[in-house]
Amino acid sequence: TGNVTIQSSITVTGASLLTGNVSASGTLTVTGNSTLDITIFGAGSLYTLGTTSAIVADASYITVVSTGGGVTLSVVAISSGSAAGQILTIVGTNDTDTVIIYDEANLATSNVETASDATRTFGLYDVGVYIWNGTDWLEQSYSNNDDN
């Protein structure tokens, strides 16, 4: 009970219960019958994207801007998720240098499913939330938060 920090390695044999905050740097491997009730948040970098770029799904929260003007991601819009159920929040940072994502109904190479097959433009403060199903990013919500 309390805070647990693992800096090297730990081996647990038999039943165990960790409560409170658990911190592990590096790789955490759990084998056998295990139940984890965890929430992982990670802030990624600001991604500057061109037409042949893809948003890299390496964090749960990322920000995007284009290389100049409105840029449509013309290949895979978002890289594959790491596991089904992964949640990704994308936030636009500029109303001039926007990033545009097409639904796969409108662009065959896209791996994004949006409501009503809509095209999404990420300008300043625009937010999209997606969940990875193992094949595609399914839109949970999108909000155009700036009037430009």
In tens, the pLDDT along 60-81 reads 999 999 999 999 998 888 999 9
Q: Write the Ramachandran bin of 59: left for phi over 0, alpha for psi from -120 to 50, otherwise beta.
A: beta
Q: What are 103-116's pLDDT values in tens digits?
A: 999 999 999 999 99
Q: What whole-number distance in Å separates Cα of residue 148 and Cα of residue 94?
A: 10
Position 3 pLDDT exceeds 60: yes
- Band the pLDDT of 28: cuts 50, 70, 90: low
Q: What is the rounded average pLDDT of the residues 90-101? A: 96
**Range 102-108, long-range pairs (CB < 8 A, 24+ positions):** 102/72, 102/73, 102/77, 104/136, 107/74, 107/77
